[in-house]
């Protein structure tokens, strides 16, 4: 398996492979940058079709964390870990303990938190083996599940996008298609519903769809068709790659604003979105609420006020990106990348 010649290897400072046969642990911890501080980013627990696919995810996600943390102006570098879902039986506690020991061996270069497939309780198990973990459910500085704050950040950024396109952030006449009703997606739907938006929702989990229909008056659509719906706004909140050469030409929405990491399948997708008249809010800026929440825990003194200030900053950054992109005739991604890259330069 290629690492240094891998297409997504972006001069990562370190890529660590951890295994523990007794607990079935197989993990890849990718540290993209520690220029701004310890590399921080969640752990994803997922069934990968190959080790190669797991590595690709770790490399891409860790680089995105560097950009996310820099764009949110956090004193954190970028890293991410993937935990490969074991084949057959396994003991979750032993697995997360072994994973905690693997993180501890890195001595603070990498600090983990939740991502897809893991919970605050899993973070507590990791915490039994290492202090380099955040998003805990208990303890003096515990910030808990970052997802509600991620959803709040996405919601505020989305409204900035709506204001930019339609001149007002009134959502009562808007239809929003949401893919993925997990921790973030469902919380986002609740906010959109409360603001009067009409919801079209897709997930592969029947239970959450029933809940959204019953509680939020949402209409369910097939996941493979969610992007083709006649909606004003499309929110990819499942996994990465929702915006690709097959989906973009069929997207009806004028605005894409979702929580998923790495929504663009490749660099060529951004001009395609532009050509189709779709405004894209860069994912790594929009979904930073969770890491903002985690950052205050890492600092050791959880502060609601600081989180609020940062969320106000997130919305302002989205507005600035939209304005500068228009003024300079460049893409929103170019502006967002520039903001992050300026802050990632070594002094």
| Residue 202 interacts with ligand NAD (CB under 6 A): yes or no | yes
Q: Which stretch binds ligand NAD (CB under 6 A): 82-90, 183-191, 211-219, 305-313?
A: 183-191
In this complex, which beta carbon is closest to ligand NAD, that of residue 115 or of residue 124?
115
User: Is residue 261 part of the contact set for ligand NAD (CB under 6 A)?
Assistant: yes
Residue of 279, 287, 317, 332 that binds ligand NAD (CB under 6 A)? 287
Site stretch for ligand NAD (CB under 6 A), options 18-26, 95-103, 256-264, 335-343: 256-264
Which residue, 55 or 181, is less far from ligand NAD as judged by CB?
181
Bridging pattern class, strands 233-236 and 219-220: unpaired
Active site residue 80: yes
Chain-centre distance for alpha carbon 104: 24
Give 72 or 326: the residue with its C-beta nearer to ligand NAD. Answer: 72
Could you tell me the two tokens for 27? 């993990």
Per annotation, catalytic residue among 63, 68, 80, 310: 80
| β partners of residue 264 | 243
Judged by CB under 6 A, the residue of 227, 290, 297, 337 near ligand NAD is 290
Site for ligand NAD in 79-118 (CB under 6 A): 114-117
Contact flag: residue 259 with ligand NAD (CB under 6 A): yes
Q: Helix (H, G, I), strand (E, B), or coil: what is residue 236?
A: strand
**34 makes contact with ligand NAD (CB under 6 A):** no
Beta strands in the chain (DSSP E): 14-20, 25-33, 39-40, 43-46, 77-84, 110-111, 175-179, 198-202, 219-220, 233-236, 255-256, 279-280
Q: Which of 25, 199, 208, 322 binds ligand NAD (CB under 6 A)?
A: 208
Out of 41, 78, 120, 182, the residue judged to bind ligand NAD by CB under 6 A? 182
185 near ligand NAD, rule: CB under 6 A: yes
> Residue 269, by phi and psi: left (phi above 0), alpha (psi -120 to 50) or beta?
alpha
The answer to whether 156 contacts ligand NAD (rule: CB under 6 A) is no
Distance, CA of 128 to CA of 225 (rounded, Å)? 43
Nearest approach, Cβ of 83 to ligand NAD (angstroms)?
Answer: 13
Instruction: Specify which residues 68 forms β-bridges with.
Output: none
153 touches ligand NAD (CB under 6 A): no
Q: Which stretch binds ligand NAD (CB under 6 A): 86-94, 164-172, 173-181, 267-275?
A: 173-181
For every residue of 73-137, DSSP letters joined together read T-S-EEEEEEEEPPSS---HHHHHHHHHHHHHHTTTSEEB-B-TT--HHHHHHHHTT-S-B---S
Q: Which residue is nearest to ligand NAD (CB)?
A: 182
User: Measuring CA to CA, which residue among 128, 124, 120, 176 is closest to residue 147?
Assistant: 120
**In this chain, which of 73, 122, 152, 203 binds ligand NAD, going by CB under 6 A?**
203
Cα–Cα dist 332/345, whole Å: 21
Using only C-alpha atoms, what is the Rg of the chain? 19
Binding site for ligand NAD (CB under 6 A): 114-117, 146-147, 150, 179-185, 202-205, 208, 223, 237-239, 259-261, 287, 290
Which residues are annotated as catalytic? 80
């Amino acid at each position: 398996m290629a690492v240094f010649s891998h297409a997504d290897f972006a001069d990562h400072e370190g890529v660590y492979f951890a295994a523990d046969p007794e607990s079935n642990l197989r993990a890849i911890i990718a540290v993209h940058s520690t220029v701004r501080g310890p590399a921080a980013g969640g752990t994803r627990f997922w069934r990968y079709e190959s080790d190669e696919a797991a590595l690709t995810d770790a490399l891409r996600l860790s680089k995105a964390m560097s950009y996310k943390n820099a764009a949110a102006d956090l004193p954190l570098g970028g890293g991410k870990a993937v935990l490969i879902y074991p084949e057959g039986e396994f003991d979750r506690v032993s697995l997360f303990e072994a994973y905690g020991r693997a993180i501890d061996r890195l001595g603070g270069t990498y600090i983990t938190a939740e991502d897809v497939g893991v919970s605050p309780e899993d973070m507590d198990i990791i915490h039994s083996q290492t202090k380099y973990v955040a998003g805990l459910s208990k303890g003096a500085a515990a910030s808990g599940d970052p997802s509600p704050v991620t959803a709040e950040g996405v919601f505020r950024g989305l409204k900035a996008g709506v204001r930019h396109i339609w001149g007002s952030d009134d959502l009562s006449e808007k239809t929003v298609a949401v893919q993925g009703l997990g921790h973030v997606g469902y919380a986002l739907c609740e906010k959109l519903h409360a603001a009067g938006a009409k919801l079209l929702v897709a997930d592969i989990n029947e239970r959450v769809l029933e809940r959204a229909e019953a509680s939020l008056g949402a209409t369910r659509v097939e996941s493979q068709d969610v992007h083709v719906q006649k909606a004003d706004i499309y929110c990819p909140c499942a996994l990465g790659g929702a915006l690709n050469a097959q989906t973009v030409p069929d997207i009806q929405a004028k605005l894409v604003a979702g929580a998923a990491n790495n929504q663009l399948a490749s660099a060529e997708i951004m001009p395609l979105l532009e050509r189709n008249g779709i405004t894209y809010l860069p994912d790594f800026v929009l979904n930073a609420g969770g890491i903002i929440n985690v950052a205050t825990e890492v600092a050791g003194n959880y502060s609601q006020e600081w989180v609020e200030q940062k969320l106000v900053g997130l919305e302002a950054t989205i507005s600035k990106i939209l304005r500068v992109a228009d003024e300079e005739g460049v893409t929103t991604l170019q502006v967002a990348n520039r903001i992050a890259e300026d802050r990632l330069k070594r002094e």
